[in-house]
Amino acid sequence: MILSRAIKKIISVTIALALLCSIAGCGTPRPVKAEDRIFLDLSLEFLGKYELPATVFKDTPVGGLSALTYDKQKDRFYVLSDDRSRLAPARFYTIDLDIGQTDTGETGINNLTIEDVTFLTDEQGNTYPAGSIDPEGIALSPRKTLFISSEGDPSQNIAPFIGEFDLKTGQKKLNVPIPKRYLTDVTDEPQGIRNNLAFESLTINPTGLAELDPFRLFTATESALTQDELTEAEAKARIRLMHYGINPFGSPILVAEHLYLLAPASVETISNGLTELLALKEEGNFLSLERTFGFTGVGAKIFQVVVGNATDTSNISSLKENIDRVRPLKKKLLLDLKELGIYLDNLEGMTFGPQLPDGSRSLILVSDNNFNEEQLTQFLLFRLSK
């Protein structure tokens, strides 16, 4: 009799819990996918665009804007022109991008003001001769200098470089060592960067709090090196991403290199490449910008990229062969910009900007108009939410 009452009590409690769970919306927990554990929960919302009309500033044509970086302390952007010192000396601009509430009450870009232009110079303080530099990537460092990458020109035996430049004077202070496998060597097997497909991307992830603390610098080629190039049109280009440690003393050190697989493009595509990387504050996490150009226009996609347990490829001489044992960087599509329903130009630069009124972070993209009257210098504004 006592046992029977105990059983009835257990059954009653079970039924009560079941009813309570149904009211509260309980259920079987959603299985967590492995992908959900790897990638951050991010989303992008398009907020607006700004088109810069044809402009001349201090006798320089403002165009070819291929990269930008944000100075939080000054609330200013430094925007790099990829002019190869042909229309004016190689340079970057300081701009004020007025981001805030628009006339419609929504967040957007109200105006753009060019405040200054700074010419890049070598270690001796000389501007770069015409054709000797192809500036493509820019990143502001914690020590208030700019790191700038140049693609070089293998057809003219001009090597690529990554250099540290003084923010005020534009003079080069330091060279980041480039591994030999990235340099053209006509005496051995064909190797090195391909023309106009080198260090388009550049990003920095601070790892300390003080100005003199070490930090990390990342760059990648726009497409595969000569020794890694595949012949199949539909294949994913095998890109190398380099990770440097920058210390207050001594030369920068190459920490690792990883395989980045470029998303294959459609058959009508003429150009397809990785044009920008942006390090997130969460170590080992990035955003990447891939851009295509073809007979149907320009396309662009933003991916989330995670290092995870990616293989270090720095000791692999060629990625052209079987890479089944090579673990690439993991990628996840965050946004296909064609879905925005707006005209897209040659998007090449991407950076974080100021905090938005709701506390989220802004993300800004810029297009390179190639100094072509038929193209646009376009700034796109997004809200990055977690």
For Cα atoms 176, 202, 182, give the angle at the middle one, nearest 5 degrees. Answer: 55
What pLDDT shows up at residue 101? 86
Instruction: Summarize the chain as % helix, strand, coil (round to 5).
Output: 10, 45, 45
Q: Which amino acid type is present at position 318?
A: S
| The two three-digit tokens of residue 300, written as one number | 């662009």
Domains of the chain: 34-385 (2.115.10)
Nearest CA to 204 out of 372, 78, 300, 321 is that of 78
CA nearest to 351, candidates 168, 140, 149 = 140
- pLDDT at position 185: 75
How does pLDDT run along the chain (386 residues), one tens digit per residue?
A: 444 444 444 434 343 334 333 333 344 444 445 555 799 999 999 999 999 999 999 999 999 999 999 999 999 999 999 999 999 999 999 999 999 988 888 899 999 999 999 999 999 999 999 999 999 999 999 999 999 999 999 999 999 999 999 999 999 999 999 999 999 876 678 899 999 999 999 999 977 767 788 999 999 999 999 999 998 766 899 999 999 999 998 899 999 999 999 998 887 888 899 999 999 999 999 999 999 998 888 999 999 999 999 999 999 999 998 999 999 999 999 999 999 999 999 999 999 999 998 889 999 999 999 999 999 999 999 999 98
Tokens 């692999």 — which residue? 316
The owner of tokens 């259920």 is 27
Record the tokens describing residue 245, joined without a space. Answer: 């440690």
CA distance 250 to 281: 25
How far, in Å, CA of 242 to CA of 259, rounded?
A: 9
Largest CA distance in the chain: 101
* CA atoms of 344 and 338, how far apart (whole Å): 8
Q: Specify the pLDDT at position 17.
A: 37
pLDDT for res 265: 82
- Tokens for 17? 């819990």
By the 8 A CB rule, do 173 and 181 touch? no
The label of the residue with tokens 């009257």 reads: 373
